């Protein structure tokens, strides 16, 4: 009976469900182990960052793996999301007192702002490909970082005070009602830390749901057609401009959501959103398998947790990390290993079990 049911649903659907189950299972087991005290507090602090790194990796995989365009500005979109989401939360703290309403709104607002930037940056770079696109997106990430480091906003009874590049003269500000919102390189402070593991996992699942369904639909086929052969895709009647912008905006939206989640979890330091972060996310995508959404999830979890868990090795930490990266790279391209992996897919495991039952 169960076998029939499994057969009747499409293999792509089954693939998606096993990814959702994998995420839920991993985080529930991890949370239980942390609660039970088996895993230390160090690991507990890694769970929410894992969530936003998964979201970042999956959304970047949409641009790099599915559309086939190399983007190095993902940290920039995350930065936009973190700042806009954070500022939104600070400003509405007194108006919307319930964190249950305010926090999801902050996530959406951060995502939308980043998505808007995705479209804005997408329009001029539509004609660029490959290295050139990578250069422009890289520059975008750096520009955003520098911009937010130079914005000062203070709120008092008289309203908002803005300044760019120079700090605001405090003598003009009513010190009673003064509320510093953005303080240049000192960044934002006072964002309510609403993020927790439950919201993180829900966001991961929403991201996976939206991106995997988008990829497995008419639009997703258009993305992949553009990736495989742009000229033919256009000759077959696909609107390249439209579908590229859809990808850029979705990818940026989720990076923004991840940024907003980050802002509500730890201190927002603008220097964090640099080139290294973009490359780190790209490493997750590449080692997880380009175009492989589930692979991005697994790679983000392992590669994020690893250097943290290796802290006890002290100076050898990054050495071991580098070796793991190299080994993963070799194994991912090794036919024998791939065949070995084939034998342990969900499908095969189920099939074996049923074969035994039937016998």
Partner 1 sequence: MALLEIKDLCISFGGLQAVQNFSISIEQNQLYGLIGPNGAGKTTVFNLLTGVYKPTSGSITLDGQGISGKSPMEINKSGIARTYQNIRLFSNMSVLDNVKVGLHNQIKYSAFSGIFRLPSYWKQEKLMNERALKLLKVFDLEHQSKNLSCNLPYGKQRKLEIVRALATNPKLLLLDEPAAGMNPNETAELMNTIKFIRDEFNIAILLIEHDMRLVSGICEQVAVLNFGSELTHGNTNEVLKDPRVITAYLGE
127 binds partner 1 (CB under 8 A): no
Rounded Cα–Cα distance for residues 201 and 52 (Å)? 9
Question: In the complex, what is the shortest distance from the CB of residue 190 to partner 1, in angstroms, rounded to a whole number?
Answer: 35
Question: Rounded to whole angstroms, how far apart are CA atoms 304 and 6?
Answer: 34
Query: Contact with partner 1 (CB under 8 A): which of 236, 319, 338, 355?
Result: 236
Instruction: Supply the minimum distance, in Å, between the C-beta of residue 247 and partner 1.
Output: 10
For 188, the 3-state DSSP assignment is coil
Q: Which among 317, 229, 254 is positioned nearest to 57, based on CA atoms?
A: 254
Q: How far is the CB of 260 from partner 1 (least distance, A)?
A: 20
Q: Which is nearer to partner 1, 223 or 304 (CB)?
A: 223
Yes or no: say if 12 and 221 are a contact pair by the CB < 8 Å rule.
no
Rounded to 5 degrees, φ, ψ at 274 are -105, -175
Residue 9 near partner 1 by CB under 8 A = no
- Using CB atoms within 10 Å of the CB of residue 283, give its burial: 0 to 12 exposed, 13 to 18 middle, 19+ buried: middle
What is the strand order of the sheet 159-164 is part of?
Answer: 159-164, 151-156, 179-183
Q: Which stretch binds partner 1 (CB under 8 A): 45-53, 126-134, 235-243, 255-263?
A: 235-243
8 touches partner 1 (CB under 8 A): no
Span 286-345, contacts to partner 1 by CB under 8 A: 291
Any idea what the Cα angle at residue 45 is, between residues 39 and 49, rounded to 5°? 125
Nearer Cβ to partner 1, position 182 or 238? 238
Draw the binding track, 241-270, toward partner 1 (x: CB under 8 A; -: no contact): -----x------------------------
Q: At its nearest, how many Å lie between partner 1 and the CB of residue 85?
A: 22
214 lies in the binding site for partner 1 (CB under 8 A): yes
Cα–Cα nearest to 67, from 229, 218, 259, 257: 229
CA distance linking residue 24 with residue 204, whole number of Å: 10
Give which of 308, 327, 319 is closest to 50, Cα–Cα: 308
Cβ closest to partner 1, residue 88 vs residue 250: 250
Q: Which of residues 267-296 bind partner 1 (CB under 8 A)?
A: 291
State yes or no: residue 239 binds partner 1 (CB under 8 A).
yes
CA torsion sign, 7 to 11 to 12 to 15?
positive
Q: Which stretch binds partner 1 (CB under 8 A): 92-100, 145-153, 177-185, 229-237?
A: 229-237
Token digits for 228? 């495989």
Select from 82-90, 180-188, 208-216, 344-352 the region that touches partner 1 (CB under 8 A).
208-216
Q: What's the closest the beta carbon of residue 228 comes to partner 1, in angstroms?
A: 4
Footprint on this chain of partner 1 (rule: CB under 8 A): 209-210, 213-214, 217-222, 224-225, 227-229, 231-240, 246, 291
């Amino acid at each position: 009976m169960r076998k029939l049911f499994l057969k009747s649903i499409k293999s792509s659907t089954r693939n998606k469900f096993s990814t959702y189950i994998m995420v839920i299972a991993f985080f529930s087991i991890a949370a239980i182990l942390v609660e039970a005290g088996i895993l230390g507090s160090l690991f507990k602090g890694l769970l929410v960052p894992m969530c936003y790194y998964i979201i970042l990796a999956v959304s970047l995989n949409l641009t790099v793996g599915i559309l086939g365009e190399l983007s190095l500005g993902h940290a920039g979109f995350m930065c936009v999301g973190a700042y806009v989401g954070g500022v939104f939360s600070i400003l509405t703290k007194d108006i919307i007192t319930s964190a249950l309403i305010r926090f999801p709104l902050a996530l959406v607002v951060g995502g939308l702002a980043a998505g808007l930037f995705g479209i804005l940056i997408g329009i001029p770079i539509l004609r660029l490909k490959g290295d050139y696109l990578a250069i422009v997106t890289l520059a975008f990430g750096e520009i955003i970082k520098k911009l937010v480091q130079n914005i000062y906003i203070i709120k008092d009874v008289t309203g908002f005070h803005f300044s760019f590049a120079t700090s605001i003269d405090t003598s003009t500000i009513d010190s009673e009602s003064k509320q510093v919102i953005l303080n240049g390189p000192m960044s934002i402070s006072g964002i309510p830390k609403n993020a927790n593991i439950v919201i993180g996992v829900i966001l991961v699942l929403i991201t996976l749901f939206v991106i995997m369904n988008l990829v497995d639909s008419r639009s997703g086929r258009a993305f992949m057609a553009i990736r495989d052969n742009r000229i033919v895709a256009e000759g077959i009647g696909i609107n390249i401009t439209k579908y590229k912008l859809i990808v850029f905006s979705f990818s940026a939206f989720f990076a923004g959501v991840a940024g907003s989640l980050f802002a509500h979890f730890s201190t927002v330091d603008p220097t964090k959103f640099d080139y290294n972060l973009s490359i780190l996310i790209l490493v997750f995508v590449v080692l997880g398998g380009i175009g492989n959404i589930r692979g991005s999830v697994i790679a983000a979890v392992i590669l994020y947790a690893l250097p943290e868990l290796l802290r006890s090795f002290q100076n050898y930490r990054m050495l071991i990390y580098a070796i793991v990266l190299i080994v993963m790279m070799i194994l991912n391209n090794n036919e024998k290993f791939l065949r070995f992996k084939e034998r342990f897919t969900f499908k095969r495991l189920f099939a074996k079990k049923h074969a035994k039952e039937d016998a």
